[in-house]
A and B are shown apart, each in its own frame.
Chain A
Amino acid sequence: MAGVWVFAETVDGVPKPVVLELLTKARALGDAAAIALGPGASKSAATLGQYGAQKVYVHEDAAFRDVLATPAVDLLARLVEKEQPDLVIFGMTYDGRDVASRLSARLGTALIANATDVTKRDGGWAIVSPMFGGSLLVT
């Protein structure tokens, strides 16, 4: 099974709604795991598990809340290199976008933004993404 991770943004230990939606997708694609960072992150594990995460990585350091993107990118880059997931999914939030973009540059991996669907295809991933303000769907 493919390892599919979800970057689980939480506010005071409560996952943002988009995270739970992404977990539903992730568990349909493979073995779902979630990464929750910042104060209160551990509290979110039960909910993340309930929505399909088989494993939840947490780190409670305040830096994840107080410093934009880079602490999360530092941690994710190491974790991704160690555990080699097949796909990491981020919500298109203010923070998710910054972290995903920086991480892709650090790891030299592909990044597809604004995805509206993901399926497996030919040993890779086929991702649908809108262009020109949504008038065209590109795969």
Chain B
Amino acid sequence: MNVLVCVKQIPDPNAPGKLDPQTKRLVREGVDLVLDPGDEHGVEAGLQLIEKDAGEVTVISMGPPKAVDAIRRALAMGANRGILITDPALENSDAISTARAIAAAIKGQTYDLIICGTESTDGSSGAMPAQLAELLGLPLLSFAKKLEVSQGKAVIDRQTDDGYDVVEAPLPAVVTVTGGINEARYPALRGIMQAKNKEVKQVGLSDLGLDGQAGKAALTQEVVDATPAEARKAGEVVEDKGEGAKRVADFLKALKVI
């Protein structure tokens, strides 16, 4: 059973990211860059599958050369090898460009399952996995909070507004996993040491045969403005002097909640 896991390096979500006022691009300098915590669940899900059944986990990412650190983190968790798509012409890529690049990079690989997080923690568009599935002509099992693979099928519990649906698809398939699917393991020292010697293949746009079809040359959208969101106002503190309940009820009435 071979599993591909798509991962992304993002600014540490505990220190909110910034866009450069001129270029409107992500500021990567002086910012801690980490493997997206949502993707750790994807790596974990992949590792659990190959631990049950033999096989390999390959981690794939697109980003600047530094993004190799995110791949190393996944390798330290136990993934077998990595692929980094990196090319100056891919700067500023939108989701569809990313999907095209990943689709091209995994052509020729043998895999049973592609696992992605449901969305990145920085951009949060959640578009890439479905676009990747579409480009590869594969089924997508999205929002999985449980994943099982057997007899050539993947079966998931798919999160819904009211609970979950059980959905299945034949392999190969793309699955997106939610944070609730597992507890991601912390890399052990031995894993970190081993990760240094694992293979990470770097590929560029011309290796993929995508010149002009991804990145700057193929933008469908442009960031024209970026403004900080209005800060949340401090809440009102009501001291209960016997009329607290009424104050709360009045507040809810004013909001037309009750």
| Interface residues of chain A: helix, strand, loop or mixed (majority) | mixed
Q: Is the CB of B135 within 8 A of A105?
A: yes
What are 11 contact pairs spanning A and B, CB under 8 A? Answer: A98-B142, A101-B129, A101-B134, A104-B127, A108-B220, A126-B224, A130-B124, A130-B229, A132-B11, A135-B228, A139-B224
Q: Is the CB of A135 within 8 A of B221?
A: no
A50 at the interface (CB under 8 A from B): no
**Which of B135, B142, B159, B160: most chain A CB closer than 10 A?**
B142
A114 at the interface (CB under 8 A from B): yes
A70-101 CB mask vs B (1 if < 8 Å, else 0) is 10010000000000000000000110011011
Whether A97 contacts B126 in the complex (CB less than 8 A), given A102-B134, A133-B121, comes out as: yes
Partner of B125, one of A69, A70, A73, A111: A111
Which of chain A's residues has its CB closest to B18's CB? A136
Q: Give the residues in chain A near B17, CB-CB below 8 Å.
A: 131-132, 136
Q: Is the CB of B142 within 8 A of A68?
A: yes
Q: Give the residues in chain B near A108, CB-CB below 8 Å.
A: 96, 220
5 more contacts with CB within 8 A, not counting A104-B127, A131-B17, are: A94-B159, A101-B128, A101-B130, A132-B122, A138-B225
Q: Is the CB of A73 within 8 A of B134?
A: yes
Q: Is the CB of A136 within 8 A of B227?
A: yes
Q: Is the CB of B229 within 8 A of A136?
A: yes
Q: Is the CB of B124 within 8 A of A133?
A: yes
Task: Tell me the minimal C-beta distance from B155 to chain A in angstroms.
Answer: 13
B183 at the interface (CB under 8 A from A): no
A55 at the interface (CB under 8 A from B): no
Whether A69 contacts B223 in the complex (CB less than 8 A), given A94-B142, A135-B229, comes out as: no
Whether A131 contacts B130 in the complex (CB less than 8 A), given A94-B159, A136-B16, comes out as: no
Whether A104 contacts B131 in the complex (CB less than 8 A), given A68-B140, A94-B160, A114-B125, comes out as: yes
Which of chain A's residues has its CB closest to B136's CB? A105
Complex-state Cα separation, A139 to B222, whole angstroms: 8
Complex-state Cα separation, A68 to B154, whole angstroms: 14
Task: Tell me the minimal C-beta distance from A104 to chain B in angstroms.
Answer: 6
Which of chain A's residues has its CB closest to B131's CB? A105
Partner of B158, one of A94, A104, A126, A139: A94
Whether A131 contacts B123 in the complex (CB less than 8 A), given A136-B228, A139-B226, comes out as: yes
**Which of A104, A114, A137: most chain B CB closer than 10 A?**
A104
Complex-state Cα separation, A111 to B131, whole angstroms: 10
Complex-state Cα separation, A97 to B143, whole angstroms: 11
Q: Give the residues in chain B near A134, CB-CB below 8 Å.
A: 229
Complex-state Cα separation, A133 to B158, whole angstroms: 23
B19 at the interface (CB under 8 A from A): yes
